[in-house]
Amino acid sequence: MLVFKFGGASVKDAKGITNLANVVDQYKDNQLLIVVSAMGKTTNALEALTKAYVDGSEHVHSLFEDIKQYHYIIMAELFEATHPVFDEVANTFVEIDWMIEEEPHDDYDFIYDQIVSIGELVSTRIAAAYLNKSGLKTQWLDVRGYIHTDNTYREGTVLWDKTRESISKNVPALLQKGFVITQGFLGGTSENFTTTLGREGSDYTASIFASCLGAESVTTWKDVPGVLNADPKYFEDTVKFDVLSYNEAIEMTYYGATVIHPKTIKPLQNANIPLLVKPFGDPTAQGTVIGGNVNPVFEKPVIILKQNQVLLSLSPKDYSFITENHLSDIFGRFAANNVKVNTMQTSALSFSICIDHKEESFGKLIAVFDDAYKVRYNTGLTLITVRHYGETTLKYLSRGKTVLLEQVSRNTAQVVLK
């Protein structure tokens, strides 16, 4: 039994959906569960729609119309006008119509998940319909009834026991009848509300299903030839790794390597299930195999870039030293507000952290510390993490920039740059 995951770039247009079917057709003798992301940049577009809705923008309906038309144009290339998928997709989009006609909910993250999740629900409807049209019998599955989470919107925590029970009870029988296709990135609460698992969380979805089903492997199909030492959009002469250990992949994703969601690896490692990262444009290519404990010789350092960062410095208002009690209090407040720390540094009088800048919640975060701490911050920063670094690499990456924070350990260096 195999699990495939197709990212947004691989299903961004009609050609991509056709290619998905061609790839899947090569595995028609296997039991196959397929996880699909939203098409192209749909998640970004739905995020913009969510913000416009909450802000009361006059552009809400035009933004939504653009999203719908993008999908309808793709469907028009794939199906005849009378195909039932048009009604299925229209009925899915109605969920947004209903929401944007009401006053916004107080919780931005709740609104985000209810709106942004529509991207995956629509993409999987289209992909499932095309697979069936191509003679590949496929069952559409609503993942929200199988991956159960708590009520932490935008970063749902998986309830593993309940999730494992739901998947193992129902999915194997469906796989006996044909392919199963479902949504990445999404989960569901006990109150039947939609949650998301964190940005780019479709890899994690595939990992959850593979772990619960005892899959032979997970293959995530990307627009790159495999796992590279750096993002080719920003760096030239990148190299592909043929193999990586689970531990190295965990380190890379923890620090922000976007080719794989950071929560993906551990469930696979626990079950000893390999993860294959392969190019959807060349299904026969080797790609990268993640598993076991063998790493390549790192001829080049691994460079991970995170932009739109905030460096936040907290100092006790009573001018006392930063103590363990302060750190416990600070991290408790971060945890309560679902803040992920990308790097940190402690001095005698202040504690500094680098985090992703989430504009809609940053003001609330600052207010959380106002009672006991003096807060200073810089926005618009870049965090660069280098695994297996050399001094020349760090100097090159920092050239012409102001270094606001630097952390160096045996294998990993991090710099926050302005």
369-412: pLDDT as tens digits: 999 999 999 999 999 999 999 888 888 999 999 999 999 999 99
Is CATH 3.40.1160.10 the classification given to domain 2-290?
yes
pLDDT at position 338 over 90: no
| The predicted structure's pLDDT at residue 297 | 83
Position 24 pLDDT exceeds 90: yes
**String of DSSP letters for 358-401:** -HHHHHHHHHHHTTTEEEEEEEEEEEEEEES--HHHHHHHHTTS
- Predicted confidence (pLDDT) at residue 190 exceeds the cutoff of 90: yes
pLDDT digits (tens, 9 = 90+) for 65-115: 999 999 999 999 999 999 999 999 999 999 999 999 999 988 999 999 999
Rounded Cα gap, residues 266 and 61, in angstroms: 41
Q: What is d(CA 5, CA 258) in angstroms, rounded to the nearest whole number?
A: 15
pLDDT at 177 over 90: yes
Tell me the average pLDDT of the chain: 94
Beta bridge partners of 378: 311
Query: Which pLDDT score, from 0 to 100, does residue 291 have?
Result: 94
Q: What percent of the chain has pLDDT over 70?
A: 100
Using the CB atoms, write b or e for 83-105: b if 16+ within 10 Å: eebbebbeebbeebeebbeeeee
Give the residue, 16 or 281, on which the prediction is more confident. Answer: 16
**Of the listed ranges 196-200, 226-230, 266-270, the one predicted with least confidence:** 196-200
Query: Are 2-290 and 302-417 equal in CATH topology?
Result: no
Q: What angle do CA 370, 376, 378 make, to 5 degrees?
A: 135
Pick the CATH number of 302-417 from 3.30.2130.10, 3.30.1600.10, 3.40.630.30, 3.40.50.2300: 3.30.2130.10
Average pLDDT score over residue span 344-353: 94
Instruction: Give pLDDT, residue 295.
Output: 81
Predicted local confidence at residue 46, as pLDDT? 98
Residue 189 CA to residue 158 CA, distance in Å, equals 10
Q: Kindly report whether the global pTM for this prediction surpasses the value 0.85.
A: yes
Residue spans per domain, the chain: 2-290, 302-417
Q: What confidence score (pLDDT) does residue 223 get?
A: 87
Mean pLDDT computed over 324-341: 93
Task: Map residue 275 onto helix, strand or coil.
Answer: strand
> Looking at residue 361, what is its pLDDT?
84
Q: What pLDDT is recorded for position 200?
A: 81
Residue 343 is predicted with a pLDDT of 95
